[in-house]
Amino acid sequence: MIRGLLRRLGAGGAGPEPAPAARAQGAPEGPDRGLLVFENTSEVIRAQKLLRDAGVQVAVMGPPPEIRKGCDLVVTFPLVEELRVRRLLAAGGGPQPLEVVPVTGPLLTPVDIFQVKDFGTHLMVRAANMKLTVDKSTGVLVNVSGGGCPDVPYLAALLVGRRLDEAPSPREMGHTLCGYALGLAFEELQRRCSPS
Amino acid sequence: MLAVVGTLPDPAAPVFEGPALWTGGALTVAGRPVPTDRGTPALLAAACAACAVLGLPGPHAFLAGDQGLGHGSRALYAHLVDVLPGRDYSTLAFHYLMPDAMWHDKVLFAAQAMRRRPRLVADAGFMYAAKMSGQAPAYDLFTPDAGELAFLADEAAPHPFYTRGFLLHEEGAAPEHVRRAYAGGNAAACLLVKGAVDLVADAGGVLFTVDGPGEEAMEAMGGTGDSVTGLAAALVESGRPVPVAARLAARANRLAGRLARPNPGSAIAELVPHIPAALEAALAEEPGECGP
């Protein structure tokens, strides 16, 4: 994996660029999507796992500005599967959304939670409040930045100095919102660096 | 004396305490080497460097290993409840600790039982606990980032999980979040909001902004927010008014970043050696300052 990783990282000039969050997380693109709005991000994380494990193409994104209910994150899903999604959440004892909203216009379009900055020698992926940086010449993770949750120093100690293809997933090792966001950054960095 | 309370990312580390020393680019606490990658060790290293410039004794550290599950934090809380009432520290800074409202209150009461009330600084997990317990006004300084400020501003949120803006920072909303944090009684007497532009605020609103020098690579570096808090704690300990201490800390941290000429792979330990020169430069800029 590391050769492909370095090959993919070698190209591109410095500067920020948005990451295609929906595609990155395996969700469908296009307008036929709906949003699940939850009261808190713990419910978002549980719903994402439950639906993903059931084979639904979901992605976690930021809420559109028009929606003021709920927390920092929403789950997007193919709108055609709304009934199935509701059944899965109900049957699995999963969290119940505050709202299910079809994406019908720009003001209801969810916000990308990823930002990518290419420093030339290094690539940094920001997912929400957490930033993860890799050395493009070696594939080694060099920095974790952001977040004041109590597991952040531990996760940083696990990641920094290890190659991206050998490091443990923060999603499995973390215990907090910051750990979850760091996991998203890790997966996005892996996606960008994997051979394809 | 300044005392700093926090955790190490080593679950095997027991509760221990002692003087923190930064010598030759390495940090020790009670004679034990402590890696200065980020988190509380980065705060301690910055505070050591600043105390040396300010002519203050180095900080006393209370530490425990914790991987984010709270075991070490709770053991450390219990130790503090035992020992704080008999100690004499003029400034207490709390940092990466598992937020736990019940333990927070016990520790705060123990601090308030000290013969001399220390100035209180909080950041990261312990700052969340201070807000969750409704005791934020008992503190002299909080040092949140924009997301943490959103949590302080959200009077209804019992936990960052429930806050809009904790993960998705809205730096432009900071002045309004400052207003709401004070209106809800969820802010310390002074706030140092760390971001692309640092803000110093009190109940009257934003007092100062610090936006330079900017060093792009510092965005990627872990621990730069921790070093600001360490600088601020040392400057509070020096007796300066808390808002002035906060402004100097923000400025000195940025100057240290400029002097360190970091790249995105640089570690916070590369910035700390530049703190003395940076702090001296920041002090020289300050009206009415005649050196450290």
What is the model's pLDDT at position A11? 40
CB burial class (10 A; 0-12, 13-18, 19+) of residue A15? Answer: exposed
Chain B partners of A60 at a C-beta cutoff of 8 Å? none
Establish whether the linkage from the previous residue to B213 is cis, with ω within 30° of 0: yes
Domain extent, residue A141, equals 2-20+113-193
What is the model's pLDDT at position B195? 93
A-B Cβ pairs (cutoff 8 Å, strict): 143
What is the model's pLDDT at position A84? 95
**Closest chain B CA to residue A118:** B264
What is the rounded CA–CA span in Å between residue A144 and residue A194? 20
Query: ipTM strictly over 0.90?
Result: yes
Domains of chain B: 2-285 (3.40.1190.20)
Last residue of a domain, one of A89, A108, A127: A108
Contact A122 B7 (CB under 8 A): no
* pLDDT category of residue A12 using cuts at 50, 70 and 90: very low
pTM metric for this prediction: 0.90
Q: From residue B21, how far is each of B28, B123, B191, B202, B236 by CA, in Å? A: 5, 21, 28, 33, 19
Hey, is the C-beta of B158 within 8 angstroms of any chain A C-beta? no
Chain B partners of A44 at a C-beta cutoff of 8 Å? none
Contact B265 A122 (CB under 8 A): yes
What are the pLDDT digits (tens) for B255-264?
999 999 999 9
What is the rounded CA–CA span in Å between residue B16 and residue B65? 9
Chain B partners of A72 at a C-beta cutoff of 8 Å? 163-168
Closest C-alpha to A57, from A48, A46, A67: A48
Structure-token pair, residue A21: 């969050």
**How far is the alpha carbon of B285 from chain A, nearest alpha carbon, in Å?**
29
Could you tell me if A84 and A63 lie in one domain?
A: yes
Please check whether residue A89 is in contact with residue A97, taking contact to mean a CB–CB distance below 8 angstroms: yes
Hey, is the C-beta of B270 within 8 angstroms of any chain A C-beta? no
Last residue of a domain, one of A108, A127, A142: A108
**Residue whose tokens read 């971001």:** B195
**How far is the alpha carbon of B146 from chain A, nearest alpha carbon, in Å?**
9
What are the pLDDT digits (tens) for B8-55?
999 999 999 999 999 989 999 999 999 998 899 999 999 999 999 999
Last residue of a domain, one of A80, A108, A136: A108
What is the model's pLDDT at position A25? 54
Contact B222 A124 (CB under 8 A): no
Domain count, chain A: 2
Structure-token pair, residue B83: 């020992």
Per-residue pLDDT in tens (0 to 9) along chain B, 292 residues: 999 999 999 999 999 999 999 998 999 999 999 999 889 999 999 999 999 999 999 999 999 999 988 999 999 999 999 999 999 999 999 999 999 999 999 999 999 999 999 999 999 999 999 999 999 999 999 999 999 999 999 988 877 878 888 888 777 899 999 999 999 999 999 999 999 999 999 999 999 999 999 999 999 999 999 999 999 999 999 999 999 999 999 999 999 999 999 999 999 999 999 999 999 999 999 877 655 5
Please check whether residue B34 is in contact with residue B28, taking contact to mean a CB–CB distance below 8 angstroms: yes
Closest C-alpha to B129, from B154, B145, B107: B107
Residue A92 has pLDDT above 90, yes or no: no
Structure-token pair, residue A122: 């290094």
What is the model's pLDDT at position B168? 80
Could you tell me if A185 and A142 lie in one domain?
A: yes
Residue A82 has pLDDT above 90, yes or no: yes
What is the rounded CA–CA span in Å between residue A55 and residue A30? 19
* Strand spans (E) along B171-244: 190-193, 198-202, 205-210
Could you tell me if A140 and A188 lie in one domain?
A: yes
Could you tell me if A55 and A11 lie in one domain?
A: no
In sequence order, the 6+-apart residues with CB closer than 8 A to the CB of A69 are A37, A98, A99
Chain B partners of A74 at a C-beta cutoff of 8 Å? none
Q: From residue B174, how far is each of A124, B169, B196 by CA, in Å? A: 25, 9, 12
**Closest chain B CA to residue A74:** B164
What is the rounded CA–CA span in Å between residue B44 and residue B48? 6
What is the model's pLDDT at position A94? 84
Q: From residue A84, how far is each of A56, A80, A131 by CA, in Å? A: 9, 9, 35
**Closest chain B CA to residue A62:** B168
